[in-house]
Structure 1
């Protein structure tokens, strides 16, 4: 474990990097075969299919995790077509209100195609400004909405703006959610220039990294093919966040950041 000052949170919070998580994991082969990285059982039909493939060993492979926040949106099906063509699995941190509820078929497809379905709150409120009951409502409503569609509750969450505090951590632990931050951001909310989004991402990419993008902004999905192509040329293997941590099992309440 490492103690890192999270600039976005305004406080110090203990975080764990993927390499630290792997190093601390028990070396029981039976514990590392699960599709959800937690129980040894696949969390959905899609993760079950993914788990049937040979697991990636990120101690040996040059791994990187592609993650998307804020969806699903109108461009998410196009993104899924790209990922399917490239044989890349990603992690999607979904918003409940106006997204999960509006696009249930896309949520169902995300799970069925082996992507990790995760929680990005109900309405994108900054969790560090809320009391525990309101934090619980933001996370639990999205948990339930996703479970109603996929049959499984997520085990990962990403706080809006990366802002967390002790209350957010306590509620996340209570709900069985690990907190996932990032190492690479293209700030795609600030531009529609797909070439610039790709350049920013590629300039920051590193081994065991977690890339933050948004599938709800116009310039982002068109940037994804170039990002995937170049990172494959550089020898990267794309994995979901649980695969990046494997054989570690994500711990509820823990904060993961490269």
Structure 2
């Protein structure tokens, strides 16, 4: 069998191909090159991106998977992983996203279909494949993919995406049913509630029962027999908007012990130092935080290390990277860690208009909620760039604006002793500590810091746990 002609076909006319049975009825089977695992089909494309050039970036700037440089970085890691494990469905999913970002949507579809042929229960593939088909205008096929996914697992995110598709087609009754189903599974998923309001639903305030729902059709929907929702869904209560900030003025038991910092930073020396600065503290808690991830190599190793010490942490992720590695976000949530919002592509909130900044944060928050099944209420501005307007925008959403007390500078320093010394100088009970999981520094510091904290009586908790501990007791 010869490959079909047409743009976007990854196969040349001389390739030997094998057929993969179709996974979703009505979707043509993908065809893959025999003897080479999917993911290497378009390596030449990424080599072109690599040599095409890109603007230089300073140390510490986050990876941006939409840039040619970082697409190539991610591709290299994932391609090697796929070489070792050709049937790794998570890697196929991630590679498909990279191909889509490189403008090769047909090849992304091929990879996702291949993943479904291996494991038809991998729910993220249905979302990605359905969205790709929708983008190509193949709406009936997209609907079948979404419906096939819902037959596998009742994903509120698929219900939401299917509702968006139906709304775009003008099928408002079907769209409303999809958004209702989404909210029955996840009542706190605000985008679905907003879409229902757009369709004319008047949602009750918190505490109202289902009978309080009222339907008022907008002008464009007059006469349509829409039914009101059958389950109360109210807005989430606003958070207090607590803000951490560089500096330790909120921790009165912090002593001026910097001059006593040990020269040799062993576990024992660090333990003694941490005990000294914690003198008189009623509760010894610290929040370890990791920015800019997830990363294919470093984040799993950090999760293993945290688990081995019974430590909880908070990961401030980029939406563009979380989308590539959904399994890592699910693993974070399952392990009891917290996932915070670090924007979609690490662009400064202070340098953007409030509308664009808010849309960026909302997009990331929606993805985090979909991947973790937990509402995301923490925001850390990229680079620490913030001002009164940024803080007010974040607080208006009921979110917390989170900075840090101790900065490891792991993106800049190569000496683990220097990183550890920076952390110790600013760490005492109540501290928020900054690392990055797109760099290897934390993996060299934490094997000393984690046992030292434990021996000194500290508990590594999430930022939200730390905020609750800081709240005045009634």
The question of a shared fold, defined as TM-score above 0.5 by the shorter chain, is answered with yes
Matched ranges for 1:25-40 at <5 A: none
1:79 aligns with 2:306: no
- Determine if contact 2:294/2:322 at 8 Å carries over to the other structure: yes
- Determine if contact 1:64/1:238 at 8 Å carries over to the other structure: yes
4+ residue runs over 6 A deviation: 16-21
1:92 aligns with 2:315: yes
Structure 2 residues not aligned, in runs of 5+: 1-241, 252-280
SS at match of 1:73: coil
In the TM superposition, what whole-angstrom CA distance separates every residue of 1:8-37 from its partner, at most 9, and x where no partner exists? xxxxxx95689979xxxxxxxxxxxxxxxx
1:163 aligns with 2:388: no
1:173 aligns with 2:395: yes
SS at match of 1:138: helix
- For 2:370 and 2:386, the matched residues in 1 are separated by 27
1:200 corresponds, among 422, 435, 443, to 422
- For 1:153 and 1:246, the matched residues in 2 are separated by 17
Which structure carries more relative contact order (alpha carbon 8 Å, separation 6+)?
1
For these two proteins, the number of residue pairs brought into alignment is 200
Q: Higher helix proportion, which one?
A: 2
Structure 1 residues not aligned, in runs of 5+: 1-13, 22-58, 250-258
2:103 paired residue number: none
- For 2:409 and 2:430, the matched residues in 1 are separated by 20
SS at match of 1:188: coil
Q: Closer, same or farther in 2 for the Cα pair 1:196/1:247, shift >3 Å?
A: closer
- Determine if contact 1:192/1:217 at 8 Å carries over to the other structure: no
1:62 corresponds, among 254, 267, 284, to 284
1:108 paired residue number: 330
- Determine if contact 2:313/2:338 at 8 Å carries over to the other structure: yes
- Determine if contact 2:287/2:461 at 8 Å carries over to the other structure: yes
1:213 corresponds, among 429, 435, 457, to 435
- For 2:312 and 2:344, the matched residues in 1 are separated by 24
SS at match of 1:246: helix
In the TM superposition, what whole-angstrom CA distance separates every residue of 1:33-68 from its partner, at most 9, and x where no partner exists? xxxxxxxxxxxxxxxxxxxxxxxxxx7321111111
- For 1:108 and 1:16, the matched residues in 2 are separated by 26
User: Which deviates more, 144-153 or 69-78?
Assistant: 144-153
SS at match of 1:136: helix
Q: Closer, same or farther in 2 for the Cα pair 1:16/1:112, shift >3 Å?
A: closer
- Determine if contact 2:416/2:441 at 8 Å carries over to the other structure: yes
Q: Closer, same or farther in 2 for the Cα pair 1:184/1:20, shift >3 Å?
A: closer
SS at match of 1:189: coil
User: Normalising by structure 1, what TM-score?
Assistant: 0.71
